Amino acid sequence: MPDTLATVVSHSLEIKHSRFIAHAAPIDTPAAALAFLQQVAVPEATHNCWAYRHGSEYRSSDDGEPAGTAGRPILAAIDGQGFDRVMVVVIRWYGGIKLGAGGLVRAYGGTAAECLRIAPRQPLVALAALQVQAGFDDLGALHAALAAHGAEKLDETFTANGVDLTLRLPADQADALKTRLRDATRDRIRIETCPEPGPLND
């Protein structure tokens, strides 16, 4: 799995009197990427260029720079460093010297890449979701197993016969948890796999 960012980071560079500042943030959704843009964009700056990747979804903007000289190099920096669920905004204040297309690609891509290079990384973990039905007699074994396999309770409903749980846990722990619960409860517990919840920041 790729990494995301552990926190929001910024990095600035000056290139031929133009000032470039990159702001990078972890995102949970594409909408969060655009919300971050609203948060950090500087209306009086010359350009607010950006790109994000969220799994198979990605977008980028040159914000008035020549096509392909800003947004795509920022996206290439995200992909080149093995990041996912990341938004990068690179803000430019024009300093009076034109950089040319190649210079812009290097400036935007380089500022984004350096910002991400110095950023603290956080692994994304593939997750599984399980639906569990257990009787009251098996609650002790159930809760011990959840703690041992890093499972998080998303939903818990008590019924006349026991409890219905929705769990989220690292995908590589799901089979081991199922086996442990079946063994501990003599197969009394019912377990179903829910649709994939996707990766999560570790």
- How does strand 190-193 pair with strand 86-93? unpaired
The three-point CA angle 45-105-114 to 5° equals 80
pLDDT at site 21: 97
pLDDT at site 75: 96
pLDDT at site 148: 83
Ordered mean pLDDT values, 10 residues apiece, the chain (202 residues): 85 94 93 94 96 93 95 95 93 93 96 93 79 88 84 86 85 84 86 65 46
pLDDT at site 90: 97
pLDDT at site 196: 53
pLDDT at site 198: 52
pLDDT at site 202: 44
Buried b / exposed e along 6-30 (16+ C-beta atoms within 10 A): eeebebeeebeebbbbbbbbbbeeb
CA distance 96 to 38: 26
